[in-house]
Amino acid sequence: MNVNGLAVDLQKELRRRKYFLRLEILDQTPSLLKARLYISSELFVQAYRNDRYDTTKLVLVHGGQRLYGRDQIDGRWHRHTYSAPEEHDFSRAGAKSVNLQEFLDEVEELLAELDLP
């Protein structure tokens, strides 16, 4: 994943997944992108990519709190589970690399479990 690819994927997923209300670009440079896909004003997916430092952060936020996330730092992935969102899960499943589509599939499963819109 790189900044350009993430920008394209965000637009694609906005069109593909009809529950997203809008895409907001918070910051963008040639090597950095920070954006939000809004489901509601209090529920959104934030995506961050920094090519310079090889860092990716994908997070589901509700009411200002992280519910779930996956991060890649220096090429190494970890997960923040719903049951322990502040902890780093480096298990085999937690360390699996994901693209935006795969992350959003995981988010959809969690939203269904939590009965969130």
Does 79 have pLDDT greater than 90? Answer: yes
Residues facing residue 77 across a β-bridge: 72
pTM for the predicted model, two decimal places: 0.94
pLDDT at position 6: 97
Does 35 have pLDDT greater than 90? Answer: yes
For residue 87, the enclosing domain spans 3-114
Does 1 have pLDDT greater than 90? Answer: no
Question: What is the domain count for the chain?
Answer: 1
What is the overall mean pLDDT for the chain? 96
CA atoms within 13 A on the CB side of 32: 7
C-alpha distance from residue 48 to each of 36, 51, 116, 117 (Å): 9, 10, 23, 23
Greatest CA separation for the chain? 38
Mean pLDDT, residues 28-44 taken together: 97
pLDDT at position 2: 94
Residue 15 neighbours by CB distance under 10 Å: 9
pLDDT band of residue 74 (cuts 50, 70, 90) is: confident
